[in-house]
Amino acid sequence: MDAPMNLTDRFGRSINYLRISVTDRCNLRCVYCLPENGVQWQARENQLSAEEIARVTATMAQVGVKRIRLTGGEPLVRPDIVEIVARLASIPGIEEVSLTTNAMLLEKLAGPLADAGLKRVNISLDTLDEKKFKQITRGGDIDRLWRGIAAAEEAHLSPLKLNTVVVNGLNADELSALARLTIENPWHVRFIELMPVGNAQNWGEGFPSLDERYISVHEMQARLSHYGLEPATTPMGNGPARTFRIPGALGTVGFISPLGEHFCQNCNRLRLTADGYLRPCLLLDGEINLRENLKAGTPLLPLIQRAVDAKPAGHELLLQHYPEFRRMAQIGG
């Protein structure tokens, strides 16, 4: 049988986007994502090599995958991240390689990554307050993040997206200040609902309790009503975000609601874990093992097709079916 020229799942969704977690390791410990101590990292020898990641990507490019996002863990802690980008960007059919990062190592790497073919970066930024940044990330330095953003702009890694996970009692009071960043900067600030996965348990002293934390995108929008937000689009499409603009602003403000108004009906992606499993859905357990075929050099396409066929209609968080097998940092968010 000839290989299919594109990947379409049981629900007619075309799969053209691959998110790759290149490592589960991270140089920060954001409260909602990882516990403060005692994280068990995967053994380094279990991580796919740059060559193996490129092989999966090249196979997927043959059947219509065009966009790649590298994530983690923190993708920039991988010593061969520039090589990974260079390999992926040179694969025929891959139109865009982008990356999601906490920006702690971006100042040095933005230039080399752009030279290697990286197009854009998304940066996680949950607060503008230096002390709170340190508290939420458990040790992060917000000045390094701003220097990383400056380096990304200098390297033309644009348009820049800033992702904020909004938590009641922690940073929900900063929505207005974060949105204000878009007035004079061509940045796309996206406010994301907290998902009840990852480090969902007690975050420790000084943090809101579990039932206080969740705030819906409706509530977020209501809190920004004074800006008179107008519907907008971004140059790279809106993805899962509902996007608006403060009148006259250079950038946009987006809202992502994995819970209340989930966007599974438009899901166009697969996820590859750092240890070589394809995940049909971020929020439901269930994976296809590519490792043996990668090691043996046997065809990957039948397994990729199986992962596409296994894509569920949508996640089941509202039925309280949570992913338990892996942490967010292992899947890549």
Q: Is 102 in the site for ligand SAM (CB under 6 A)?
A: yes
Q: Is 100 in the site for ligand SAM (CB under 6 A)?
A: yes
Q: From 60-68, 99-107, 178-186, 311-319, give the range in contact with ligand SAM by CB under 6 A.
A: 99-107
Task: Report the residue closest to ligand SAM, judged by CB.
Answer: 333
Of residues 55 and 326, the one with the C-beta less far from ligand SAM: 326
Q: Is 26 in the site for ligand SAM (CB under 6 A)?
A: yes
Q: Is 329 in the site for ligand SAM (CB under 6 A)?
A: yes
Of residues 100 and 252, the one with the C-beta less far from ligand SAM: 100
Of residues 59 and 122, the one with the C-beta less far from ligand SAM: 122
Q: Is 328 in the site for ligand SAM (CB under 6 A)?
A: yes
The size of the interface with ligand SAM (CB under 6 A), counted in residues, is 21
Q: Is 182 in the site for ligand SAM (CB under 6 A)?
A: no
SS3 annotation, the chain: CCCCCCEECCCCCEECEEEEEEECCCCCCCCCCCCCCCCCCCCHHHCCCHHHHHHHHHHHHHCCCCEEEEEECCHHHCCCHHHHHHHHHCCCCCCEEEEEECCCCHHHHHHHHHHHCCCEEEEECCCCCHHHHHHHHCCCCHHHHHHHHHHHHHCCCCCCEEEEEECCCCCHHHHHHHHHHHHHCCCEEEEEECCCCCCCCCCCCCCCCHHHHCCCHHHHHHHCHHHCCEECCCCCCCCCCEEEECCCCCCEEEEECCCCCCCHHHCCEEEECCCCEEECCCCCCCCEECHHHHHHCCCCHHHHHHHHHCCCCCCCHHHCCCCCCCCHHHHCC
**What is the footprint of ligand SAM within residues 53-92 (CB under 6 A)?**
71-72, 74
Q: Is 165 in the site for ligand SAM (CB under 6 A)?
A: yes
Question: What is the nearest approach in angstroms of ligand SAM to the Cβ of residue 42?
Answer: 15
- Binding residue (CB under 6 A) for ligand SAM from 62, 98, 124, 135: 124
Of residues 57 and 71, the one with the C-beta less far from ligand SAM: 71
Residues lying near ligand SAM in the complex (CB under 6 A) are found at 26, 32-33, 71-72, 74, 100-102, 124, 163, 165, 192, 194-195, 197-198, 328-329, 332-333
